[in-house]
Amino acid sequence: MKTFREAILLLPWAIGAASMALPGSSSQVTFTAPMSWDSPPNPDATHHLVFNTVSSLLQRWPNTIYRNGHTVTPATISAGTILYHGRRNAIVPTTPEWLAFDFEHSHMFCRSSCYVISLMATRDLRLVYFDGSNAAKMRGGPMDSQDILIWEYPHPERTSSERIRISELCAWGKPFSVDGFVRMEYHFEVMLCDFSAGTEVVTLSNLIPVDIGSRRRDAGSERSGYSDPPTRRPRLPPKRPDPPTGWKGSLPTLNFIEVLNAGSWHNQAPGETRVHIDYSGVVTFYNPSLTSLVEARRGQPRSHHRLANISKTDSELVRQELAEVFARQVKGPGGGIDWGSITHVIVKRYSERLELLQYLLEPATYTNVTEQAVAVRIQILTMLAPYITTEAVRNSSDTSWVGSIVHYCSTTQTSMIPGGTLTPQERLIRDAVEGTLHEICRRLTLMWVDAFDIEAATDRRKAEALGRWRVHVRELMEWLDWSVWNKCNPACGIDALCHVPTWPFVEGDHPDDMTPRCISRVRLGELALEQTLIYS
């Protein structure tokens, strides 16, 4: 027992789990230090970060909490998908424009006149998806990955230059036959480059005008500090719109909370299902070969990870990798390994069980250490059960008897995927999945070594073991940092929405405080609106 920490096992699978594949080009970096099964992750390793960015693609909640996007990937929208475009006149755009996935998001661009166009994709649309809150027009990093693709470096002063941005993005995509771009703010949107290619108008409806509310009309200037002032056109204080002849009663109001609500339909996996990721082309700034970013991240919490100080070399590497990826044929849905599902299954399998473990380990949950240790042992055994064979029984004074548990637990998901058929981007994801699983399995197995014969142990040893397990679970959950653990607890009622701050911020938000809270969907409509920076 006492010697397990000293045990050095040079297991071939442990070395494999520490190697990293690299982007597009041929260079390869490998953490060559031999590892025993219980070596903790290298502090600069990005397995958990790559895992998180991949498992969170197209989900609003994690990409709201971590708004500085780090991943750019090919994506498609299937033929037959309906998208919406709200505007103040009956014109179908002939220049690049923004489309919403849900009507609510397009409706907020209506004022005293309200036209909403619904469009259908007539073929699969070829898109570039930027993760994070890449449509949050604020400083601090959300738009950095777009900036690097267009201009090589982040340009925080261009956060509100949306017209220039969309035309430069479309110019970048043209050689690759890219139809548009997908980004997220409080909801996902498409920046469509050419309305005459791949879409048809289904309806162009002149809807009831929208009253933006008296408080909004009276409000003079916008809230500033975190957001750049919009620069599109000078604004006149809007008047109450004229209702159509024969209309009775109040007009529809601009109810921003319902836009947040529509966005929240896509909070968690599978997220915004109308967009399909091509996982074989996932390009991420968490690639450990981008050394300038590895340095910039050291000691920073994930919310402060930025691309601002990317070196010229690293910026060129990423731009080159993106050009290579988009020059390839998009695999599309079903074309390759479904890395999204692989990561979602892992999050499902462990997230709520680790939360339960954390709860069972709280000193206040039990008064009797025997009952507590027994309950925790059952949970550890439940999680490791698929990997504990009849031979994995303690038969030595070192910990070699658990080596096979860690091995099967870390590699069963991926070991049979033939590496030679994977793109460099998929190899990075595979290593991230294995590295993440290895740390989950390592921590659980360290606990199992302790829990194996805990039932017959003295109360003193049980109490000591419980103390060690608490540390393991806390450190593991901190390292994994899964956003499913950041939730409204207790859950909100049917008349409320669980909310974390997202640009444009509403009253009560602090952009850096991601503590979720319930906000009313039925009483706060106008209050939320008053504090909201509408930028059209």
Ligand X SMILES: *[C@@H]1O[C@H](CO)[C@@H](O)[C@H](O)[C@H]1NC(C)=O
Cβ-based nearer residue to ligand X, 295 or 495:
295
Q: How crowded is residue 1: how many other Cβ atoms within 10 Å of its Cβ? A: 12
Q: Is residue 401 near ligand X by the rule CB under 6 A?
A: yes
- Smallest separation (angstroms) from ligand X to the CB of 70: 13
3-state secondary structure 301-322: CHHHCCCCCCCHHHHHHHHHHH
- Do 306 and 68 touch, CB atoms closer than 8 A? yes
Q: Is residue 11 near ligand X by the rule CB under 6 A?
A: no
**Helix 424-451 vs helix 339-361: crossing angle, to nearest 10:** 20
Only segment of 80-88, 390-398, 448-456, 520-528 that touches ligand X (CB under 6 A): 390-398
Task: Give me 267's structure tokens.
Answer: 């909070």
Q: Which of 30, 95, 365, 368 binds ligand X (CB under 6 A)?
A: 368
In total, the chain counts a number of residues equal to 536
Give backbone dihedrals phi and psi of 203, rounded to 5 degrees, phi first. -135, 150
Helix/strand/coil for 116: strand
Cβ-based nearer residue to ligand X, 144 or 509:
144
Q: Is residue 273 near ligand X by the rule CB under 6 A?
A: no
- Do 287 and 200 touch, CB atoms closer than 8 A? no
Helix/strand/coil for 205: strand
3-state secondary structure 480-506: HCCHHHCCCCCCCCCCEEEECCCCCCC
- Do 285 and 318 touch, CB atoms closer than 8 A? yes
Cβ-based nearer residue to ligand X, 352 or 371:
371
Cβ-based nearer residue to ligand X, 465 or 480:
465
Cβ-based nearer residue to ligand X, 31 or 401:
401
- Smallest separation (angstroms) from ligand X to the CB of 400: 7
Q: Is residue 395 near ligand X by the rule CB under 6 A?
A: yes
Per-residue binder mask for ligand X (CB under 6 A), 274-303, x = binder: ----------------------x-------
Cβ-based nearer residue to ligand X, 353 or 394:
394
Q: Give the residues across from 199 on adjacent strands.
A: 121
Q: Is residue 250 near ligand X by the rule CB under 6 A?
A: no
- Do 60 and 499 touch, CB atoms closer than 8 A? no
Per-residue binder mask for ligand X (CB under 6 A), 303-322, x = binder: ---x-xx-------------
Q: Is residue 370 near ligand X by the rule CB under 6 A?
A: yes
Task: Give me 149's structure tokens.
Answer: 């693709």
Q: Is residue 390 near ligand X by the rule CB under 6 A?
A: no
- Smallest separation (angstroms) from ligand X to the CB of 63: 19
- Smallest separation (angstroms) from ligand X to the CB of 465: 15
Per-residue binder mask for ligand X (CB under 6 A), 182-211, x = binder: ------------------------------
Cβ-based nearer residue to ligand X, 38 or 102:
38
Q: Is residue 512 near ligand X by the rule CB under 6 A?
A: no
Task: Give me 226's structure tokens.
Answer: 């975190």
Q: Is residue 391 near ligand X by the rule CB under 6 A?
A: yes
Q: How crowded is residue 359: how many other Cβ atoms within 10 Å of its Cβ? A: 11
Residue 119: its H or E element: strand 114-121
Q: Is residue 70 near ligand X by the rule CB under 6 A?
A: no
CA 311 and chain centroid, separation: 24
Cβ-based nearer residue to ligand X, 88 or 139:
139
Residues that bind ligand X (CB under 6 A): 296, 306, 308-309, 368, 370-371, 391, 395-396, 401
